[in-house]
Amino acid sequence: MKIVFVSNFLNHHQLPLCDEFFHMKNIDFKFIATEQIPKDRLKLGYKKNFNVPYLLEIKRKNDVDYAKKLIINCDIAIIGSCPYELEKIRIETKKIYFKYSERFLRGPAWRKYSPIAQYNIRTRYTNKMHENMFLLCASAYAAWDYNFFGAFKNKTLKWGYFTSLSKLSFTEIKKIKTKKLSLLWVGRMLELKHPEHAIEVAKHLKENNIDYQLTLIGDGYIKDKIINLVKNYKLSDNITFLPNMSFEKVRLYMEKSNIFLFTSDFKEGWGAVLNEAMASGCAVVSSYQAGSTLFLINKNETNGQIYDGTVNNLIKKVMNYVNDKSYMDLVSKNAYETISNLWSPKIAAKRLADFSISLLEKKPNSYYEFGPLSISEAISNKNAKQLLK
């Protein structure tokens, strides 16, 4: 079976899944990168070159021609962010095509009524839908965004990013967790990421005489504002700011930390730091607005906690951990197991390969009950909050 994965560039979030495809028996796998990694991503710690045999980087016209042949002739095409002409030639074959997408309606609510947005989605997907087209949702909100325009109805499947697993067992991770309460926040310092929420948590802990250490890793245009907030609150003794670093180094901080705060709003596509923190045995508190939260964290909150986007609710959830260490330990273990045993690159690759074989053999569609390739219901921003009740 020939599988071709097309995206803008290969990165460390996609590499583990691609490696799994490449090493599977009876699968011929290729990854087509349509552009070079942008400089701003390199500054974030992204790796520039991957020495992997399945990578085709489009650099000249001959590469484009070869890529088109691969896309047309393969058995299975997984197509993420790339020039639409590469999607179009696959769609027109009527062969099996998985569109891999985060949500695209991240801006103001009126955008869904934009004539340009409506025209693009309807002409590119809705009007071309056929039985072999599916949407791999890299966001709990992607299904609704596409369904609003009539695209991929009853064809939306849970997917995402599948980051590398920890090299340590949970028992080993538990031994290196700090004795002192340690909280971690990781990301670009942007408004949509809301690092100020983490500072408000720290303020509450200090006011309640709780000994803690908060570390924030990342750079961005609001970093100075956040540093000044820390100074105004007189929290500098308990808060450390670190610059962008490689994801390998970030994982070392995650493995030592007790609690991970994921505070992004609806503008966050997925948020692979959540996968990484859970895989590192962190007890997470995650905003329901981020794309990965409702996929990775159980509603009963046994493998993490979901907060409603407000500072007060975030503080409440953090205090649930602080006041009940046994609960924090349980969540930490379950988070580790969720990524290791369900949302792992190996599980995702096997499920997609098995599902694809069934499609090629014209068997009735059979979806998984949980995790990757289970059905992704259409959830709007407005309705999502109701799911927390």
Same domain, 189 and 219: yes
Query: What is the domain extent for residue 270?
Result: 170-341
> What gap in Å lies between CA 222 and CA 219, rounded to an integer?
8
Pair 12, 149 in one domain:
yes
Query: Is 378 part of a structural domain of the chain?
Result: yes
On whether residue 388 sits in a domain, the answer given is no
Structure tokens at 316: 């409440």
- Return the SS3 of 172: helix
Bridge pairing between strands 259-262 and 239-242: unpaired
Q: What is the pLDDT of residue 362?
A: 95
Q: Which two tokens stand for residue 317?
A: 């959830």
The CATH number assigned to the domain holding 214 equals: 3.40.50.2000
Check whether residue 252 and residue 373 sit in a common domain: no
Planar angle of CA 276, 54, 280, nearest 5 degrees:
10
Report yes or no: 320 and 289 within 8 Å, Cβ to Cβ: no
- Establish if 98 belongs to a structural domain: yes
Residues in Cβ contact with 11 at an 8 Å cutoff, skipping those fewer than 6 apart: 37, 41, 46, 47
- Mark whether 334 and 193 lie in a shared domain: yes
Q: Do residue 191 and residue 210 come from a single domain? A: yes
**Predicted pLDDT of residue 128:** 95
Shared domain check, 224 and 142 = no
Backbone phi, then psi, for 277, in 5-degree steps?
-65, -40
Write down the pLDDT at residue 107: 75
| Strand 283-287 with 259-262, pairing | parallel
CATH code: domain of residue 69: 3.40.50
Within this chain, do residues 265 and 320 fall inside the same structural domain, yes or no?
A: yes
Domain shared by 134 and 193, yes or no = no
- Residue 96 one-letter amino acid: I
Mean pLDDT by 10 residues, the chain (389 residues): 97 95 98 88 74 94 96 98 96 98 84 85 95 98 96 98 97 98 98 99 98 98 99 98 96 99 98 99 98 97 98 99 98 99 98 98 94 97 87
The reply to whether 243 falls in a domain is yes
pTM: 0.95
Taking the C-alpha atoms of residue 268 and residue 290, their distance in angstroms, rounded to an integer, is 5
How many domains are there within the chain?
A: 2
Residues in contact with 295: Cβ distance below 8 Å, sequence separation at least 6, in sequence order: 140, 158, 160, 343, 376
